[in-house]
Every structure is written in structure tokens, then in C-alpha cells.
Structure 1
Amino acid sequence: MRILLIEDDRRTADFVSKGFAQAGHSCDVFADGRDGLFQSQSDAYDVMVVDRMLPGLDGLSVVRAARAARVRTPVLFLTAVGGVDDRVEGLEAGGDDYLVKPFAFSELLARVNALARRPPVQEQKTVLKVADLELDLIRREARRAGQVIELQPREFTLLEVLMRGEGRVVTRTMLLEHVWDFHFDPKTSVVETHVSRLRAKIDKPFAAQLLHTIRNTGYSLHAPR
């Protein structure tokens, strides 16, 4: 296991790093928050152990910046600041566990091993794709075969729900709930009307049909079969 330890207390850093080495793990040590943050983004680690009180950049800021930079490495805060509010603040900053000094190394090792066993966090998709149709959730842009498709906000949401359910039947009730936030049937043709408008934009100008009506059930968006 590769561990990144960001700890400015020399005695603690030596004690912890030697303990990890004896347990068969590789441990890189940095005493400055900014240096530790840079290292967290430039190399792959299984776990980060971070002190809260650091020179250069405090531990909370290190973890917040790492998370903002899409660093998904599990983080354990190792610190003398142990109040309930402090622990909550650490977890909300992006930490996964919190151990208060003084501590037993056996407990630290057990917690680090537990974090390393966690399955990796899957990143939320920001671009959905079905055949040659793409939906960019960040730029709020739809394209098919490289051609930009102008969508109204409700049409965009409708298409997103259909694309997330690729290949499956999305019922009228599901669309009412997820697109219009209706938890009842308003007895209108709002779904049918918007689906018709969406189909005219994403299907009719192109050779292959992607959006299919499933009679008396709902709709399905999938690649040509």
C-alpha cells in the first residue's frame, strides 16, 4: 500500500512512517501543507493521513483543495483537535475518517487498512452517450453526429432521464416524477407533447431512430438494433 503522510511534527512523522514501513507499506512524508497537496495530485496513493495544523496550508484546506481537484484518495485526519465540531468539520471537508492524538499505532494501522479496502468512488458521468447522441451535463449542450441540438430546459431534463435509462423502458409516471416533479397524474398530454418535440430534434433530422415509443407503457432510448 502507498500512503501519503502530511505531518509537520517530526517525532510523530518518524514514528508513523516507521510503523507503516514495518507493516510492509510505502510512506511518503511531507511537513508542509502546500507540498503535500501538490504531491497528492501528482502521484497515486491508496490512503492519505493528514494533520490539521500544518504550515503553508492547513489540513482542512489541503483536503478541500484535493477534492476540488478530483483527488479521490481516502483521507484520515490525524490531529490533536478532537472536539465533536472539529471532527464534523473534518469529515465535511472531504475526510473519510478521524483519529485524535494521542493514538495507538495499531488503531491507526487498522483504520488505514479499512480505508484502503473501500471500493473506489465512481465519478459521476458528466457526458452521457447513446450511439452518436451526446449530452454534456456541465455545458448543458446536446449534440448528435457532431451537430449541436438546441433544447429547452425541460427538453434537456427529459433527454437526460431517457439517456440515463438507456435501453430500458422509462414509463410515463417516471417521467412525470423526474422531469416535472409530479407525484400524481395531471391527466394532461404534457409528456407526449414534450417527447414529440424532443423526437423532432434528436431523431427526425437523422437517419437512425433512437427514441422509441413503447405502447401503453412509456419510452425507450437506445441505439439502432
Structure 2
Amino acid sequence: MLRSAAVSLLLLTCLLQDSVGETEDLSSSFIQLDITGELKSLKDLVNQQAAVIAELKKENAAQSSELSALKNDVDKLKNESAGRSKVAFSAGLGPPTEQRGPFSAETNLIYSKVLTNIGRAYNPYTGVFTAPVTGVYYIRFTASSYGSTSNNMGLNLYKNGQYLLHLGENAGDGVAKHVSSGVTLELAAGDVVYTRLPANYVLWGGTDLSTTFSGFLIF
């Protein structure tokens, strides 16, 4: 009887040891599975973040390229705008002779005393202003005559050989005569503007520069 009980106790002990071993193995397996799952989740998250970072880098590169192109365009426009906005001239009839005319035919007026010539569009040797760029220009001119003369005083304005207007005063209005006017003209690049002294007219071209020709680019 005692022997049988001892054998039973021994068998029970073995079974319990086997059960504990199996439980430990199962726990170890579950822990391994949990760690593997966590690692996989972390790896997936890292991959997703790497993909997002790569996409952001692409977008940043594209934006940088667009900004660089935009900056180049802005710089180009600034340079063009700066070049186009600097057009202005003003010149007087000036010496060497005080009175110009009268001549038997209409004559080009050459304003040799240059006060301003930004953009070098006015030619002091021909009296001609050549529009360097297409735009709207303001053209102004004055004329004067002094002394007792029976001749009319005035001038004509031309654009590309086309007569635009006459400005003048006749001889009977007094000894000193002054006139002035201005016009706004739309000019294409290369258009020319100049003034001419009508036949049998006179103008004063003294050092006081009372007869002038001026203009500038508005826009």
C-alpha cells in the first residue's frame, strides 16, 4: 500500500514538472510573439515616416526650384523695369547764335545745350529724340523770341516725319514772345520725335535757354 502511494506520488510529481515546463515554454513563446509583433509595428512606422520624409524632401526640392525660377523672373523684370524707367532728356537751343532764322524753308531745330539725357535717347547733333522702348512719353517744348522783328515766332512738332502740331505767336503781339506746350505720345521703340522751325519764322537761342525741348517715359 505504501509502495503504491509512493509510486503515485512520484508520477504526480513528474506530471507537475512536465506541466510547469510546458507553461514556461508557452509563456516564453507568447513573449517572443509579442516582441516580434512590436518590432514589426515599429518597423512599419519607421518605413511610413521615411516615406513621408522622402515625399517632403521632394516637395521642398520642387518648391526650392520654383522659388529659384520665380526669383530669376523677378530679377529679370526688375532689370528690364529699371532700364525702361530711366528715360528722360531736356535740352536748350543755346548758343552759338542767339536768333535762329528766318530761313526760306522749314528747318530742323538742334538743341545743343543738353541739361539731362538719361538713357542717351536724345541726339544733340541732330535734335532728334528716339524712343528706346515702347511706352507712353511726355514731350514738352518752349519757344521764345526777343527784339523787334516782323517775323512770326514758333515751331512745329513731328513724329516719324508726320506733322503733329504747330505752336507759335505772330509778330504783331509784342516785342517779347513766349509760348509753351506739352503732349503725351504713345511711341514704339525706334520712333523719333523732333521739332522744326517753319519757313520765315524766328526763335531765340540765347544762353537763358528760353527755347527748350524735353521729354521722359511715363510708363
User: Quick one: higher RCO (CA 8 Å, sep 6+), 1 or 2?
Assistant: 2
Give the TM-score normalised by structure 1: 0.20
Q: Of Structure 1 and Structure 2, which has the larger fraction of its residues in strand? A: 2
Give the TM-score normalised by structure 2: 0.21
